[in-house]
Structures are given as structure tokens and as C-alpha cells.
Amino acid sequence: MKNRLFLSLLLLLAAWMCQPAAAEKISANLNTAFQMDLVTFVVPEGRVLVYLPGDIAPGDQISGNVIVIPKGSTVSEKKANLRRLMREKVVFENNNMWVKQGSFLWKIPAEGSSSSSPLILINSQNIEVTRLAIPLLEKPGTPDERMDIPTVGQAGRPLLIRGKFDGDFSTTMVKIDQQSIPLIAESPRQALAYPPNGLLGSTDISIEKNGITASAEYRSVGVLFSAGKMTLYKGEKTKVKMLVKGLKGIEKPLQIDVTNLTPDIVTAKPVNFVVMPKSVSESGNVMVAMTLESIKTGTFNLSASVNVLKWDCPDGCAKEGIVDSRQSEMILIPLGAEQNTVGPYPVTEWPSKFLSEIHDRFPAEKPGFTVRVRAACRQCERATCKNGASKLEWNARQSDWINAFDLTTLDENGGLVNKTQELNLEEIKQKAEETVSEAKCP
């Protein structure tokens, strides 16, 4: 049962990573997403998928998986094509394996200085059908003794674990939420596992290798896209919503990077989002939107990756936190009409955008406005040492909205005097930046 489930998961992964080739055309394709090499051999009888670690080097011992997908519209056709496929074999360096569902353990020769090596499909007559060059690392580096356990992962996407392995994933066990998860591939420097597709939120992860166990807190995040239509005509625009789930209780910001898998069909803006803890709903979700515009008629496809947000840290960082004006925001609140708030916009670019939006949304006699600032703080949390080098990391937080100043004055009778038409943008920007610099980090 577990083997069938793992097979289904790998097939789903392959369907997401690869564009299917024409069945009648013999070809070999390489996809290198997730620090993994997925090779797809397409032959008249079907497809052969080979999952390899993405950092193979001469002298390595590696393990991976082979999946066989026979072609056919009926059960008997599929069985006949499967028998034909199983008489073929996959050859890599001095290693070979008959085409069948299952895992393999290969040893890569240490000699040779080539930057790649061919993965070859051989038929039952011992004739080469097709081949594909697999990149080899010339200087792979020494793996860390300590496991680099990921603390955030994405449901349904391979999980990369760096550390000191031996390339044999039969001696590796990865558990999430106390349940073992299948291994996809392993090299001496990394292992790739497949996390549960339906598990979301905070839980735990543990890795056991040759009797040594390491564990950590872990968060599984889910990303779902929705759109009014998936096929667009040339020049047509559409809104795409992205629902990020499993965020309840996050203490650090997460970065969501969207990849446009069909750049020849559509353009997508924006494609990078930062999720702050304060923006997460009680149910642990965040919804963001982006705009797609079609370059030519066709169907679009998007993917997303979730990462812990890290900042480059200057020397001598302060533990009490430093305000980062680049990430600080401002809003404009019409007096008596907070539902018509303008913004937020980054402090560094807000004046011209604010004024443009004010003129578009409000009549000539504009109300008074209050400017509020939300400062983004970067706080140096800790130093982590790898290979003797010290690396500082920032934890990003945002302050509450601060009333910065009013863009109104009172006349002698206590009435509001409109000043928005006379605003000096540079003075406003300067005052806004002063307010940000004086903000207190939480």
C-alpha cells in the first residue's frame, strides 16, 4: 500500500515538473527543480522516469528511484508495453538497472574529470535508444557533520535535507509528525524526501541516519492558486489569487516566490511576496493576488515556493533592532472615512503614488488626511557558524501603525482647511522618513 502511494506521489511530482512529450517521438528530457535531477525517457512503449540527486560527483554512492509508465488505452495494451519496457535497461557510468518500478543504489567511479556523464536507455537488443547528459560536480565540497534540518516545507513538494549522508537511503529515515515519509534520492551531501500532501501547520521533523537522530520543529505550508479562467486570449488580463495555508502561529516572516512556468504565454506581476506574522488570519491563511496578462493565446501555469525570509546582516548589528526604511510603509487616511484609506505604499516611493491616487479617487474639494507609518524592523537574532564562518541572520518585524502627522489645518472658526493641493512632496517625504527613523522596534 505504501509503495503504491509513493508511486502515485512520484507520478504527481513528475506531472507537475515535466511537460509531456509526444508519445511517438523518442526523446530524453532533464528537469532540475528541487535540487533533484528527474530524467524522462519517452519511447513508443511509454515513459521511464529516473529520479537522481542533483549534486552527483565522481566517487559518490547515490540512490534514487525508477518509475515506469506504459502507454496504452486498454489494460492489455498497457501490460504488453510494460513487458517490452521491462526488457530494456538504464545505464549510468558502470551501473545498470533493468527498467522496473523501484529504487537503486549506484557507485559513481572516482576517475575522470568530465563535467557530465550520460544516462543511457538500452533496448532488448542491447542497442542504445537515447541518452541524456547528467551534470557532475567537480568540487562538491565536504558535507557538514551536522544535519541542516529544514524548518519550513511545502506540502506536496520534495524536501531537501543537507548534511553528512552516505548515498544509501535504505539506511535513512525521515519522519514528519511522527510518521515516516518516503525518500526520493540521496547523495553523500543531501537527501530528498516527500512530505505529506495533506498535513498543514506546525509539527515536528526528525532524521535518523546510521543510528544518529536529529530533530526540530517543522511547519508544512500549502499554496493553492485560483483564477477565473486558465486559458487567455492575446492581450487579455486576469486576476489570480494565491491562498497560503498552514501559517497559524508563525513568528518569522516567510517569502513566497511565484514562478511563471509559461513565460511565453503570460506575464505575471508581482511574483515575490513577504508574509508577515501580523497578516495571518485566525485560521492560519493569507490570500494575495497578482495580475496576469497574456502575450499570446494559451493556457498558463504557475508554481510557488515557500522560504524563511533571511536578511543580509551588516557588521556590528544591534540586538535591539534597526528600522529598515526600504520595507517601511505609509498610508493616508481621510478624516471621517477610514474605509477609503489610500495605500499602503513604501515610504521611499509613496508621495507621487499617493497624490496620483488621491486625485483619482476623491473630488476636487478633498478632505483632511492623517498620515500613518508602519516601520519594518530588522533585528539581529543569532549567529550560526558553518565551516568556521560566522553568519548573522535578521528577524524581520513590523511595528504597529503610528500616527505621523496630519495634512490639514484649522481655520479661526475650527473648520478644516484643505492643504492637499499645496503639499510639498519633498517635505512630506522627509517628514515621513524622520518618523520612520524615530519609530521603536517591537
Q: Which CATH number does the domain housing residue 182 bear?
A: 2.60.40.10
Q: How confident is the model at residue 1 (pLDDT cuts 50, 70, 90)?
A: very low
The per-residue pLDDT for range 343-396, each reduced to its tens digit, is 776 666 655 566 666 666 665 555 566 767 666 655 544 433 333 333 444 445
Mean pLDDT, rounded, of the chain = 77
CATH of the domain at 254: 2.60.40
Give φ, ψ of 430 to 5 degrees: -60, -45
Query: Could you tell me which residues come within 8 angstroms of residue 212 by beta carbon, excluding any fewer than 6 positions away?
Result: none
CA 122 to chain centre: 36
Asked whether residue 48 falls in the same domain as residue 161, the answer is no
Asked whether residue 122 falls in the same domain as residue 6, the answer is yes
Q: How confident is the model at residue 149 (pLDDT cuts 50, 70, 90)?
A: confident
Q: In this structure, is residue 315 part of a structural domain? A: no
Asked whether residue 88 falls in the same domain as residue 176, the answer is no
Q: How confident is the model at residue 317 (pLDDT cuts 50, 70, 90)?
A: very low
Asked whether residue 90 falls in the same domain as residue 13, the answer is yes
CA distance 282 to 284: 5
* Domain closes at, from 220, 247, 277: 220
Q: Given a cut of 70, is residue 254 above it in pLDDT?
A: yes
Residue type, position 285, single letter: N
Average pLDDT over residues 189-212: 90
The helix (H) or strand (E) run that includes residue 326 is strand 322-334
* Domain closes at, from 308, 340, 373: 308
The whole-number pLDDT of residue 393 equals 45
Asked whether residue 157 falls in the same domain as residue 104, the answer is no
Is this model's pTM higher than 0.75 or not? no
Q: In this structure, is residue 203 part of a structural domain? A: yes
Asked whether residue 303 falls in the same domain as residue 326, the answer is no
Q: In this structure, is residue 442 part of a structural domain? A: no
Asked whether residue 20 falls in the same domain as residue 109, the answer is yes
Average pLDDT over residues 329-346: 70
Q: In this structure, is residue 339 part of a structural domain? A: yes
Asked whether residue 175 falls in the same domain as residue 191, the answer is yes
Q: In this structure, is residue 254 part of a structural domain? A: yes
CA distance 127 to 88: 9
Phi-psi region of 248 (alpha: psi -120 to 50; beta: other; left: phi over 0): beta
Q: In this structure, is residue 159 part of a structural domain? A: yes
C-alpha closest to that of 249 among 289, 220, 216? 220
The residue among 331 and 91 whose pLDDT is bigger is 91
* Domain closes at, from 102, 135, 168: 135
Give the structural domain span for 178. 152-220
Cell of 161: 535535507
Asked whether residue 421 falls in the same domain as residue 328, the answer is yes
Q: How confident is the model at residue 18 (pLDDT cuts 50, 70, 90)?
A: low
Average pLDDT over residues 128-132: 92
The per-residue pLDDT for range 106-117, each reduced to its tens digit, is 999 887 657 888
The whole-number pLDDT of residue 362 equals 60
Asked whether residue 65 falls in the same domain as residue 82, the answer is yes
CA distance 84 to 177: 41
CA 148 to chain centre: 18
C-alpha closest to that of 278 among 307, 316, 249, 304? 249
Q: In this structure, is residue 346 part of a structural domain? A: yes
Q: In this structure, is residue 317 part of a structural domain? A: no
DSSP 401-412: PEEEEESEEE-T
Check residue 163 and report its DSSP letter: S
Asked whether residue 337 falls in the same domain as residue 236, the answer is no
Q: Given a cut of 90, is residue 337 above it in pLDDT?
A: no
Asked whether residue 295 falls in the same domain as residue 346, the answer is no
Q: Given a cut of 80, is residue 127 above it in pLDDT?
A: yes
Look at the chain and report how many structural domains it folds into.
4
